[in-house]
Amino acid sequence: MAIQWFPGHMHLTRKAIAERIKDIDAVIELLDARLPGSSANPLLAELTGGRPSLKVLNKQDVADPALTAAWLAHYNSRPGTRAIGLDASVAAPARALIDACHALAPNRGGMAKPMRVLICGVPNVGKSTLINTLTGRKAAKTGDEAGITKAEQRITLADDFYLYDTPGMLWPRITVAQSGYFLAASGAVGRNAYDDEEVALELLAVLKRRYPALLEARFRLSGVAAMADEDLLAEVGRQRGALQGRGRVNLQKAAEIVMHEFRSATLGRITLETPEEFATWVVEADQREAERAAKKDARARERKGQRADVTPREPGPSS
């Protein structure tokens, strides 16, 4: 089942970004380093109108370092784009954002032309934590759930550097199915928009293929690469005591354990996708969307033709 989540406050954020972008010199998009493609908002590219972009791979300290390097190279190869890795809780690297933004917009700076930067990201990507690190105070609310920030706020990082913080935003239709599952696993999607077991199974399918040793070490299992996803979820629950009557595994509880382990990074340093994999998923999703649109158009033409074939009835003789 496709995962979708675009509540009302995200509609308002979309409108606010479209209005604010007129006065913006550069855009910082905070990405989750564990899912750098899936956490990049395609709607943002439309809204920001080609403004210089800084992609910040946040939480790099819990991501696979080799894949983080691959993603940084991928984004840095794009025109008008720079990319850096970051752990938002570390003060010194966070200050590098200011220099990176000046490199993207070298003609801005000083009191006459202050730098105006919009910072965006999907929910729960660590944006508020980063802002608090940059300012050295609690300027933004933080929390381990999607949708903490609800309204735009302006933060002054220097006399000539203004940062506009926006609420976390997804996009109206997530067409890459894998992205929906990964966003849900990371905590970017509201709890009422997905099924825990379904997301946990998708997550385990990736982990057992790419990081079987981490699963085996954390859950005291063996041979996980050969297990069916459902059996692996059950074994995780059994190892962690997620049992109910007659020794049956509580799969809901087991799914919650798997996602908590991923979100808290206690499993180890993990990245769920490569640039090449994500590019393939996008192509496949675009093909499905094109087929879907073609079928919709065909049905509309068919209905229109049926209406045209209906001949008006001749009026009967007057009585």
CA distance 199 to 202: 5
**pLDDT at residue 109 greater than cutoff 80:** yes
Closest listed residue to residue 224, CA positions, set 205, 241, 237:
205
Highest mean pLDDT among 98-107, 115-124, 126-135, 198-207: 198-207
Q: How confident is the model at residue 159 (pLDDT cuts 50, 70, 90)?
A: confident
Mean pLDDT of the chain: 89
Q: Which two tokens stand for residue 282?
A: 């996008």
Lowest mean pLDDT across 138-142, 209-213, 267-271, 298-302: 138-142
- For 254-269, the DSSP string reads HHHHHHHHHHTTTT-S
Highest mean pLDDT among 2-16, 54-68, 134-148: 54-68
Q: How confident is the model at residue 45 (pLDDT cuts 50, 70, 90)?
A: confident
Per-residue pLDDT reduced to its tens digit, 115-133: 999 999 999 999 888 888 8
Q: Which amino acid is at 275?
A: P
pLDDT attached to residue 9: 85
**pLDDT at residue 135 greater than cutoff 50:** yes
pLDDT attached to residue 186: 96
pLDDT attached to residue 190: 92
Match 């995962």 to its residue by tokens.
Answer: 3
Give 235's strand partners. Answer: none
**pLDDT at residue 143 greater than cutoff 50:** no
pLDDT attached to residue 257: 97
Q: Which amino acid is at 250?
A: N
| 97-123 core/surface letters (b: 16 or more CB in 10 A; e: else) | bbebbbebbeebbeeeebbbbbbbbbb
Average pLDDT over residues 200-224: 97
Length of the chain: 319
Is 94 or 116 the better-scoring residue by pLDDT? 116
Strands (E), 60-208: 81-86, 115-121, 153-158, 161-165
Q: Which two tokens stand for residue 215?
A: 């699963």
pTM of the model: 0.87
Closest listed residue to residue 273, CA positions, set 79, 87, 33:
33
Q: Phi and psi dihedrals of 196, rounded to 5?
A: -55, -45
- For 177-210, the DSSP string reads HHHHHHHHHHT-S-GGGS-HHHHHHHHHHHHHHH
Domains parsed from the chain with CATH numbers: 10-165 (3.40.50.300), 177-263 (1.10.1580.10)
Q: Is the dihedral of CA 121, 122, 123, 126 positive or negative?
A: negative
Per-residue pLDDT reduced to its tens digit, 218-276: 999 999 999 999 999 999 999 999 999 888 999 999 999 999 999 999 999 999 999 99
**pLDDT at residue 145 greater than cutoff 60:** no
Average pLDDT over residues 84-106: 83
| Beta strand pairing call for 153-158 and 161-165 | antiparallel
Average pLDDT over residues 6-19: 89
